[in-house]
Amino acid sequence: MILPIYLYGAEVLRKKAEEADLSRKDEILQLVSDMKETLAKADGVGLAAPQVGVSKRILIVDGDPLKETYPYLKDWRRTMINPVVLEESATKCTYNEGCLSVPGVYADVTRPDAITVEYYNEAFEKVTERLDKFSARMVQHELSHLDGNIFTDNVSPIRKKIIGKKLQNILKGKVHPRYISRQK
């Protein structure tokens, strides 16, 4: 089922998500399935459960749409349940980010260029994985959502001023993304 994507200003996007109860496998798998369908319909590359109104520590990423630019992301998809970052690289990199919850807004964000993350996959197996390049970027962006942060929180003060009007328009409901969305 395609779920509405909550937009900038929605309270659920600012809450720290709770751990998913691993004993509720059927519910988790249904949510993951719905999130995948929602992500595909919205033409995105990542989605965190809070973005569909569920304050649980679950995220999905799909690098395949970026395979022309980043060939190493061909067929690269992950479902992460209760992910935890174990290590971040000291080196950082800056990329221009956007977000389905903040339509039409893009900004450079600096993040560690590699991370080690531990999570449960869809088979409920514990996985520890080292990610770098754009795969690390996508996962970190979605992990931020699980902590109640949005990429615009991490931009320079001057950039915040530049995007301020666009953010206000989202809050006022003056944006109409091509996917199903909710304001609050």
Active-site residue flag, 142: yes
Catalytic residue (choose from 27, 68, 118, 142): 142
> Rounded CA gap, 181 and 145, in Å?
16
Give the three-state DSSP class for 88. strand
3-state secondary structure of 60: strand
3-state secondary structure of 19: coil
Torsion over CA of 136, 115, 79 and 141, rounded to 10 degrees?
Answer: -50
Known catalytic residues? Answer: 142
